[in-house]
Structure 1
Amino acid sequence: MRLAIATDAWSPQINGVVRSLQETAAALPGFGVAAHFVTAEGLPSLPLPTYPDIRLAIMAGPAIARRLDEIRPDAVHIATEGTIGHAVRRWCLTRQLPFTTSYHTRYPDYVRARAPIPEAWTYAWLRHFHGPARRTMVPTETMRQELSRWGFANLSLWARGVDTQLFRPRPAVTLDYPRPIMLSVGRLAVEKNIEAFLALDLPGTKLVVGDGPQRAELERRFPDAVFLGSRTGEALAQIYAGADVFVFTSRTDTYGNVMQEALASGLPVAAFPVPGPIDVVGDPVIACLDEDLAKAIRTALTLDPGRCRAAAEARSWSAAARQFAEALCPFGAIRSRAA
């Protein structure tokens, strides 16, 4: 089956959406699915306000239609709600073809952090976008229940996996910083709430990996923290392996792939008791979830790294890809039922 995946989030962006799509696509051939991405690459674009690293394609409709005609997909999945997502959605609706979508980002929280727009308005827009989809894939049961309360229908689960070969304990790795080393990995933006970590008065080193629109401000406000910028692959894996605890500060992420990377590296997690952490690291043997983040960090430092690693080993990208493939809605299946 030839699958077209439409996404506004794509390389060189470094985030959970891009990583999830790349890893899932790599595992899909095992389930008879060949993924072809439809992105903004090569199209005129404008920077997203407050996120200049993310660019939105403009006047994309005709070019997107040509790309889809070249791919000749048997199924379509729309991963994001940006201009690429809208163009592919319109292409499907015009041709009366079924499609699936996925919900990665809690836009109502992101918008509210930047402008006084009621979250009910943003949810109404999102319901309109996802409404025609045969299925909308969500990462956790908590998120499925939350969207259901907001009136979303046809929701199915698509969990996330982790590369346990890359992210693994490495006893020989040492980082030359005072211990304990408390690690945060992610985009540096207001909705990630990293100030909740950086403002804590704790012994040791606050180590921050990532980039984003808030980086310069955070470096200025918190000179005692160590900001390493973006890291990927082996370089990132070694940083995980050399830390003592992983600190996840977001209250808005729908999943948080970085928590699984931390577990695979043998790092216990400290986080707030909110959707995302509740689903991914809700087991108290691998994480401490507490509204008092300093307490959560201190408790997480006492947990067994071996149990963290064991939890991650049960979460493969192959299993996540199977969920994704089973939720797809091929054109042929619809046409056969219509006949």
Structure 2
Amino acid sequence: MNILIVSDAWHPQVNGVVRTIGTVRAELEAMGHSVEVIGPDRFRTLPMPTYPEIRLAVGAKRRLWAMIDGMRPDCIHIATEGPLGFAARSYCLKHGKPFTTAYHTRFPEYVRDRAPIPLALSYAVVRRFHKPSSAVMVATQTIEDALKGRGFTNIRRWTRGVDTELFHPRDKGFLDLPRPVSMYVGRVAVEKNLEDFLRLDLPGTKVVVGDGPAREELQRKYPGVHWVGAKHGEELAKHYAAADVFVFPSRTDTFGLVLLEALASGVPVAAYPVPGPLDVVDGSGAGCLDVDLKRAVEGALAIPAQTCRDYALGYSWRRSAEQFLSNLRPFT
């Protein structure tokens, strides 16, 4: 099948949406399907307000429509509610083509963190975007329940996976720092609620792996934290495995791929009992969820590495790709 994915999040961006699409694309191609991704890298872009690392396509509608016509896809999946997502949505509605969408990000909450826009208004826009979709793909039951409570319909599950060959337990001597090492991996941005981690009074060393618009300010404010910047591939995997506990302070993620990457590396998770951690970690024995993040860290440090690794082995990218494929709506 010839599958087209349109996404406002794509390389060179580094985030969970990009990793998910890229990995599922590779799995689908290994299954014999053809997958094309149209992202902002093919268009003129401008930096996203308050988040210049993310580039948004501008004036892309006419060219995007021509590209879709030329590709002659069998089905279209729209991954994001950005300029390209809206342009692809309008193409499908204009030409009577079914399409699927995904709810990767709690966009209304992200907007609220950056601007005084009521949640109800943002959710009304996002709900309108997804309403014509044949299937709104979400990663967890918690997010599905939350969206249904806000009037969303046609929701289908699309779980996530982890590369257990890349992410696995390794020698913790890779980081020669006072122990225990409490680590965060991800974007350094306001919506990640990172300061809840940074201001904790913890023994040992705090390490932040990642970059983003808030890094410069937070690095000045917390000079005692070990800031290493964004890491990829083997270097990223070595950082994960060198940690003693993975701290996830976000309250707005819909899943959190980093949770699985840490667990596959044999590192227990400490997080709040909110969507994402509740779905991935709660009841697994591989992490500790608590409204008191320090207490969660203390509890997680007692969890054996093998418990974390064994749990992560149950998540497969092939299963994720098969779910995605079953949710698609071919044109004929």
Q: How would you bin the TM-score normalised by the shorter chain? A: over 0.9
Q: Is the 8 A contact 2:198 2:222 kept in 1?
A: yes
Shift of 1:30: 4.5
Give the distance between the partners of 2:166 and 2:112, measured in 1 at CA. 36
Q: CA deviation at 1:62?
A: 1.2
Deviation at 1:33, TM superposition (A): 2.7
Displacement of 1:35 in angstroms is: 1.1
Counterpart CA distance in 2 for 1:70 and 1:302 is 56
Query: How far 1:283 sits from its partner (Å)?
Result: 2.2
Unaligned runs of 5+ in 1: 333-339
Cα distance in 2 between the residues matched to 1:117 and 1:90: 25
**Cα deviation per residue 1:113-154 (whole Å; 9 max; x = unaligned)?**
112211010110001100000000001010001000000000
Q: What is the SS of the residue equivalent to 1:5?
A: strand
Aligned partner of 2:321 in structure 1 is 321
Residue 8 of structure 1 corresponds to which residue in structure 2?
A: 8
1:230 aligns with 2:249: no
Aligned to 1:110: 110
- Structure 2 Cα separation of the partners of residues 30 and 15 of structure 1: 23
Count of residues in Structure 1 that have an aligned counterpart in Structure 2: 332
Segment drifting more, 173-182 vs 96-105: 173-182
The aligned counterpart of 1:336 is: none
Cα drift, residue 172 of structure 1: 6.5
Conserved? CA contact 2:184–2:207, under 8 Å: yes
Residue 54 of structure 1 pairs with residue 54 of structure 2: yes
Aligned residue for 2:325, secondary structure, equals: helix
Q: CA RMSD in A?
A: 1.0
Corresponding residue of 1:37: 37
1:177 to partner: Cα distance = 0.5
Letter in 2 for 1:99: F
Per-residue deviation, residues 258-314 of structure 1 (Å, max 9, x unmatched): 000000000000000000000011125100000111110011000011010011111
Is the Cα contact below 8 Å between 2:40 and 2:57 reproduced in 1? Answer: yes
Q: Percent identity?
A: 52
Q: Residues 46 and 56 of structure 1 are in contact (CA less than 8 Å); yes or no, is this contact kept in structure 2?
A: yes
- Give, in whole Å, the separation in 2 of the partners of 1:198 and 1:268: 18
Q: CA contact under 8 A between 2:284 and 2:311: conserved in structure 1?
A: no
Letter in 1 for 2:114: R
Q: What letter is aligned with 1:104?
A: H
* Deviation for aligned residue 1:171: 3.2
Alignment of 1:1-339 (within 5 A): 1-171=1-171, 173-332=173-332
> Residues 171 and 66 from structure 1, CA distance in 2 versus in 1: closer, same or farther, beyond 3 angstroms?
same
Deviation per CA, 1:93-119: give whole Å up to 9, x if none. Answer: 110000000001101111111122110
Whether the 8 Å contact between 2:172 and 2:243 is mirrored in structure 1 is: no
Amino acid at match of 2:143: M
| CA shift digits 1:3-56 (9 cap, x unpaired) | 110000011111000000001111113544321011122311111101101111
TM-score (norm 1): 0.96
CA contact (8 A) 2:172 2:241 kept: no
| Inter-partner Cα distance in structure 2 for 1:151 and 1:184 | 34
How far did 1:71 drift? 1.4
Taking the aligned partners of 1:34 and 1:182, their CA distance within structure 2 comes to 41
CA distance in 1, matches of 2:116, 2:255: 25
| Range 166-175 or range 213-222, more displaced | 166-175
Alpha-carbon distance in 2 for matches of 1:92, 1:227? 44
Distance 1:268 1:157 in 2: 26
Q: Which one-letter code corresponds to 1:220 in the other structure?
A: R
- Whether contact under 8 Å (2:6, 2:84) holds in the other structure is yes
Structure 2 distance, partners of 1:55, 1:88, is 18
CA distance in 1, matches of 2:321, 2:284: 27
Distance in 1 (CA, whole Å) between partners of 2:287 and 2:154 is: 32
Distance 1:325 1:141 in 2: 19
Amino acid at match of 1:5: I
Find the residue that maps to 1:168 and give its secondary structure.
Answer: coil
> 1:309 is paired with a residue of what secondary structure?
helix
1:285–1:304 contact (8 Å) kept in structure 2 = no
- Secondary structure at 1:331 match in 2: coil
Q: Which amino acid aligns with 1:258?
A: V
TM-score, length basis structure 2: 0.98
Q: CA deviation at 1:173?
A: 4.4
